[in-house]
Amino acid sequence: MNGKFMGFISKNFILFPFLIILAFLCVLYPDEIINYPDFVDWQTIAALAGLLVVATAIKESSYFLIIAERTLEKVNSERKIALFLVLLSCILASFLTNDVALFIVIPFTLGFQAFMENDVRKLIIFEAMAVNVGSTLTPIGNPQNLFLWHQWGISFLTFIIKMMPLFILLFISLIIFVLIAFPPKRLHTLIRENDAEFNKKLFSLSILLLIGYALMMQLGLTYYALPAILLIYLISFRNILPKVDWLLILLFITLFIDFHLIGRTEIISNFVNSFSLDSSSTIFSLSLLFSQITSNVPASILMSKFSHNWFSIAYGVNVGGNGIAVASLANLIALRFAGGKKIWADFHKYSLLYLIVTGVLAYVIFFM
């Protein structure tokens, strides 16, 4: 029992600090407790819940093991597999949102572990960075872009054209990081007995549901699609729902409440107003900074209350998505999937350096 409890604590160690922060905020702002449900973006929570269920089903089908094995037969070096997965993550994130991209790519990546001596967790770190980069390009790539796109009524094409220079900068920088972090040495593959029970029916159903669910999300019908997803699995594969990481949903609900309250504090407002908000470089810098404190989605909402310079806000929150793990919800999803405490230190070793490099370059190129 003690071992199971410690395992539970270890797996969920990132959740408890935010629950403690929430408890502190409850004491500090007791009148706000009644408003907590309004602080949560339930559309995002519903979307995340559905994606989590489908991703769990895809993982449980074990079908990605087949695809991973065939991929490794053609891609035989660390660098090649990293470039392949980073490119795939970027492309998917541009058109399916960064969260959806991760729920496709990470189960696929975990399938490689069965055939490799190499640890795949570094690949997952770079996939998290890649979906943040890829999602920068389009208004539907991530929640902050979607908010800014709707808030200012920008055309789809105009948004892409405006974001293209930043995307190119971030993408080239990411490829350079990949080339440095992953040597061209051959992968150490394992001879593995095909003892896994591949469930093609579960895999096929889940892929169809993933495509349909992504479409429903784009149409704003998530609330209708989620009960359908749950019902389908409850009827067809009822063993899937108990295996879903529901505490990840609790983590995101807690984050929304924590960050909303932090963003509304007088200290934050006074800090923002102490700067010259007519300067694009200032708006960019503050958006990047607040992404590290409150995550990039709340940061975009917060900065929109102080400035109508959507371009600088968009550049700041998208660059800021890579950095501290909480800067982007996608980071937390990836790290949660990978599991283990060590990956958090490894993630920041790469992401903070990437943030510094791209933040400085973006500032110098676009705002000086």
Q: With bands split at pLDDT 50, 70 and 90, how would you rate the model's confidence at 29?
A: confident
Q: Would you put residue 262 in left (φ > 0), alpha (ψ -120 to 50) or beta?
A: alpha
User: Over the stretch 284-334, which tens digit does the pLDDT of each residue have?
Assistant: 999 999 899 878 888 888 888 888 899 999 999 999 999 999 898 889 888
Alpha carbons within 13 angstroms on the beta-carbon side of residue 361 total 17
Measured in degrees and rounded to the nearest 5, phi and psi for residue 189 equal -90, 155
Q: With bands split at pLDDT 50, 70 and 90, how would you rate the model's confidence at 151?
A: confident
Cα 331 → chain centroid:
4
Q: Which has more confidence, 364 or 1?
A: 364
Q: With bands split at pLDDT 50, 70 and 90, how would you rate the model's confidence at 194?
A: low
Q: With bands split at pLDDT 50, 70 and 90, how would you rate the model's confidence at 193?
A: low
Q: Domain coordinates of the chain in residue numbers?
A: 39-187+197-367
Beta bridge partners of 12: none
The yes-or-no verdict on residue 363 having pLDDT over 90 is yes
Closest by Cα among 236, 173, 176 to 201? 236
Q: Which has more confidence, 337 or 83?
A: 83
Average pLDDT, the chain: 84
Closest by Cα among 343, 325, 339, 358 to 133? 358
User: Over the stretch 195-252, which tens digit does the pLDDT of each residue have?
Assistant: 556 788 898 898 899 888 878 877 878 888 999 999 999 999 989 999 888 887 888 7
Is 40 within 8 Å of 172 (Cβ atoms)?
Answer: no
The angle that helices 296-304 and 246-263 make with each other, rounded to 10 degrees, is 30
Give percent of the chain with pLDDT exceeding 70: 90
pTM of the model: 0.79
